[in-house]
Amino acid sequence: MRVFKFGGASIATPGRMVDLLPIIKQETEPLLLVVSAYGKTTNALETVTKLACSGQKDEAMAVVKKLEQQHLDYAQALLDNARYVKISQTFGTYFTELEQAVNHAEQTQFDFWYDQIVCMGEIFSTLLFSFYLHQAGNVNEWVDARTVIRTDNTWRDANVDWNYSRQQVQVAIGRRMKQGKSIITQGFIGSTVDGRSVTLGREGSDYSAAILAAMLQLESVTIWKDVEGLLNADPKQFPNTVKIEAITYNEVIEMAFYGAQIIHPKTIKPLQNANIPLYVKCFFDPSLPGTVIKKEVSDAQYPPLIVLKQNQVLLQVTTRDFSFITEDNLSSLYAIFHDLKIKVNLIQNAAISFVACVDDRPEKLKELTEALNKDYKVLQNENVSLLTVRHYTPEIIGYLTSDKQILLKQETRKTLQVVIK
């Protein structure tokens, strides 16, 4: 038995959802289907969160009503009348839950309300998919991932309680699959011990697919995307990308750590631990071989693997009394970043300064600079990008940075990173 993960692009329209049916029907054993919110739903719900938390409740509710109508239109195009009536009633319950979150949202708990609002996109899309597959004769059961995936309350990047979640997953999903039933559930979401919704990090549906596969010891995970496989760079950012036929877990972990968007950073670890292969395939043409990610790849010769993280800020933190950045100072600095849950994408320290490249999240950066300013002087370069190249060559680095200002450079035997403006 296998896991298929379908992202938002694969179900962006009713026609695309219909086109997935042959992919599912070709399987002879029950499937675990992990599905994202369709199209731009997550982006719209992020807008709802920002509006609601800033006090613009009417504007937020207008976006919610527009989303509700879009989902109803999608359902009407996809389903027969009886199923349309039934899903409309089901949607009503969950849109009421969404509206209640909008009414209570406030800026002081932005990350908490983000999770309560944004998680609903996956609920809506999986209901649509489940209803459609039933109509097409594919027996399945819909499972709310929030009832099986238990986490802590690290809003927007929750940590999974593996022991509890494994037990719930094996009962609620594993037993049903052994009975011959396919399961549809959501990626990206879970819940805390007191039932509050959480998200597992942006693009966290891949991670959901991985942890469910590991908890159930399934055969493989396949992520269906709109590209022919894993490429050496994002084709939206770079021309002339190259498809990789096979790649090791370790290489993909490196790419994910540095910010590659095709695989979520936390996805690989549970698969590697359970030795479950991950396939990246194209939903436009399922006959293409795609890419396999596994423990070992014989005679691997990789092209330069390129990751560009935009919307970065380069911080320079300097001691006010010109004392050295020693282990004590580093410890206190790391503690500040850790306490504020800010990931450092690149770090370097000199005699009296500490340099860090972080994501440009204004609400987090405000807290960070306030905390650092108590003991340090803080300067920052905004609107910068972090370029990482694995298996680099002088030619590719020269090409990628020829018209850029290099603010910071780090180089090891296999990896080169530069902060550019």
Model confidence pLDDT, tens digit, residues 104-138: 999 999 999 999 999 999 999 999 999 999 999 99
**pLDDT for the residue 301:** 87
Q: Provide the strand spans (E) within 44-202.
A: 140-143, 182-186, 189-191, 197-199
Portion of the chain with pLDDT greater than 90, in percent:
87
Please compute the mean of the pLDDT values over residues 404-421 and round it to a whole number.
Answer: 96
Question: What per-residue confidence (pLDDT) applies to 325?
Answer: 81
pLDDT at 288 over 90: yes
pLDDT of residue 111: 96
Do 263 and 269 touch, CB atoms closer than 8 A? Answer: no
The stretch 224-245 carries a mean pLDDT of 92
- Contact between residue 205 and residue 188 where contact means Cβ atoms under 8 Å apart: yes
**The residue to which tokens 């990090």 are assigned:** 201
pLDDT digits (tens, 9 = 90+) for 158-205: 999 999 999 999 999 999 999 999 999 999 999 999 999 999 987 789
Instruction: Identify the pLDDT of residue 71.
Output: 98
**pLDDT at residue 274 tops 80:** yes
Flag the least confident range among 45-54, 63-72, 294-303.
294-303
Closest CA to 148 of 129, 165, 125, 160: 165
Residue 313's φ and ψ, nearest 5 degrees, are -130, 130
Q: What is the DSSP string of 249-313?
A: HHHHHHHHHTT-SSS-TTTHHHHHHHT--EEEEESS-TTS--EEEES--TT--PPPEEEEEEEEE
pLDDT > 70: percent of the chain: 100
pLDDT score at 298: 82
What pLDDT score does 227 carry? 87
Q: In angstroms, rounded to a whole number, what is the distance separating the alpha carbons of residues 208 and 122?
A: 12
Higher pLDDT, 226 or 168: 168
Is the pLDDT at 350 greater than 90? The verdict is: no
Q: Stretch 327-334: mean pLDDT, rounded?
A: 87
Residue 285 has what pLDDT? Answer: 96
Say yes or no to pLDDT of 355 above 90: yes
pLDDT tens across 375-389, in order? Answer: 899 999 999 999 999
What pLDDT, on a 0 to 100 scale, did the predictor assign at position 327? 85
19: closest CA among 334, 341, 387, 284?
Answer: 284
The predicted pLDDT at position 419 comes to 97
Worst-scoring range by mean pLDDT, 77-81, 177-181, 263-267? Answer: 263-267
Q: What is the pLDDT of residue 299?
A: 75
| Residue ranges of domains in the chain, CATH in brackets | 2-219 (3.40.1160.10), 305-420 (3.30.2130.10)
Average pLDDT over residues 306-331: 89
What is the pLDDT, as a whole number, of residue 368? 94
Average of pLDDT values for 281-297? 95
Say what the pLDDT of residue 141 is.
97
Angle between the N-to-C axes of helices 362-372 and 327-339, in degrees from 0 to 180, rounded to the nearest 10? 150
The pTM of the full predicted model, rounded to 2 decimals, is 0.84
Q: Tell me the average pLDDT of the chain.
A: 95
Has residue 322 got a pLDDT over 80? no
Listed residue (294, 296, 290) closest to 244, CA to CA: 290
pLDDT band at 320 (very low <50, low <70, confident <90, very high): confident
Geometric angle at alpha carbon 414, from 317 and 201, rounded to 5°: 60
d(CA 325, CA 84): 64
DSSP summary character for residue 37: P
